[in-house]
Structure 1
């Protein structure tokens, strides 16, 4: 279950007057790992800050974008080790993300690391060791499992220069403007028959784009904010669509922070 789903689950079950056990408080870092250089692996750390053991499954999926949406497929070019781990309270677990196949020079490959909190095994009647006390009669205990989806980009040795970036921030310092792995973005707005509007961002470049702080600007004034935080990623030679809560203003210009640099996005030709 995703974090957003966990947040609105109680609203879906108004008839259940039960107890809800919060998901395990986990800290994960880095949240933007990169594999580059001669060392073909990167470490991902998971810390259990809760009071109960947590079972975690780590899987790596190939990431592409089709029809404006993300698609994840199983693959073996990057593997997670260990794939399943038991993390005691207060402990940390290292998960190594290992590239098993070479990447063509001058290209980037995109993956998503999915970390799933596994459900605890069913407890015996009453209270078992390590289990929470049984819910009072007439109440239901709901255990929410969380899924974390972490972007991972992999590069061939020598693609980014001598320094090996371990995080997306390091990657951005290695990718100065004008490098071959820069994104090339254009935007448009699609209108569905029911009037719903979507922002569509096209990327014809060889590198991905991370979009944050996206907002409209009208002539002489500021327009609506699309999102103050992370909007998402647009992979190379792909496009991504996002639902707009508010329509753009007349004669709009789209501003965003693209891979850490604020810039206007040019509009796609009709």
Structure 2
């Protein structure tokens, strides 16, 4: 399916929990790391794999994803359902999970969700001493595209950059810290990565070499950033948007400090 394209984005969080008589590493792997539903697609497929030597249990939950007052919010939702929601996976095996579209009405804007996959702790052995167990949590972005649109395809040849006019925001930097706020006026998400400061004399300072995050359709996101050094007083902030091949100068108020 076109919605199963892999992306270089997945939040895998290593959790530490008390587990009787066990010390190990999280072995849960998830594929793909991004899901997209075209407006007529009823379901998508997620694979959960166990790379370890012991059975593991996993739980899949899906939340509506919003950005309010510049902050990420995950809200309860029955719009998408995981089947099965819990699995036990043998060593070296994998489990297919269907992500079923239940209650997502057509919309002029892309709708966003987060799929949370947790590796569950092993049941405590009643006679063993305490120990540590290392568990993984994967956070997978899921998007339901607006009616009448299709999932983006890998570009053939030279592709046009994302329309920078869809973004507006502000930038404030002082010393070794900065605040970046971006509002997305478009109908689809915009992924922000490779943020850098280009001073008036042409010197570049890399601020976020990899992924910074998403600005969802019609919403606003704010980041507090640690700077590698104090920035020159005058310059422009650049970032790569989505799958663009080159970075663009962000349209920001307060760029010259």
Shorter-chain TM-score above 0.5: yes
Query: Contact between 2:42 and 2:101, CA under 8 Å: does it hold in 1?
Result: yes
Aligned partner of 2:139 in structure 1 is 149
In structure 2, relative to structure 1, the CA distance for the partners of 1:215 and 1:196 (3 Å cut) is: closer
**Alignment pair present for 1:265 and 2:250:** yes
Q: Deviations over 1:60-89 (max 9, x none)?
A: 100000121100001111111110001111
**Alignment pair present for 1:45 and 2:47:** yes
**Alignment pair present for 1:229 and 2:195:** no
Aligned partner of 1:209 in structure 2 is 190
Aligned partner of 1:74 in structure 2 is 76
Aligned partner of 2:7 in structure 1 is none
Equivalent position to 2:34, from 32, 35, 38: 32
Question: Alpha-carbon deviation of 1:155?
Answer: 2.0
Question: Alpha-carbon deviation of 1:22?
Answer: 3.5
Question: Alpha-carbon deviation of 1:104?
Answer: 2.1
Question: Alpha-carbon deviation of 1:3?
Answer: 4.9
Q: Deviations over 1:6-65 (max 9, x none)?
A: 4xx69xxxxxxxx98233222211101111153221111111111111111001100000
**Alignment pair present for 1:249 and 2:232:** yes
Question: Alpha-carbon deviation of 1:242?
Answer: 1.5
**Alignment pair present for 1:64 and 2:78:** no
Q: How does 1:3-152 map to 2 (within 5 A)?
A: 3-4=12-13, 6=15, 21-125=23-127, 140-152=130-142
- What TM-score do the two structures reach when normalised by structure 1? 0.76
In structure 2, relative to structure 1, the CA distance for the partners of 1:256 and 1:99 (3 Å cut) is: same
In structure 2, relative to structure 1, the CA distance for the partners of 1:260 and 1:244 (3 Å cut) is: same
SS at match of 2:26: coil
Q: How does 1:188-207 map to 2 (within 5 A)?
A: 188-190=170-172, 197-207=178-188
Higher strand share: 2
What is the count of residue pairs matched by the alignment?
A: 236
C-alpha RMSD of matched pairs (Å): 3.1
In structure 2, relative to structure 1, the CA distance for the partners of 1:154 and 1:177 (3 Å cut) is: farther
In structure 2, relative to structure 1, the CA distance for the partners of 1:21 and 1:208 (3 Å cut) is: same
Can you give the 5+ residue segments of structure 1 that lack an aligned partner in the other structure? 11-18, 127-133, 135-139
CA distance in 2, matches of 1:172, 1:36: 18
Can you give the 5+ residue segments of structure 2 that lack an aligned partner in the other structure? 1-10
- What TM-score do the two structures reach when normalised by structure 2? 0.79
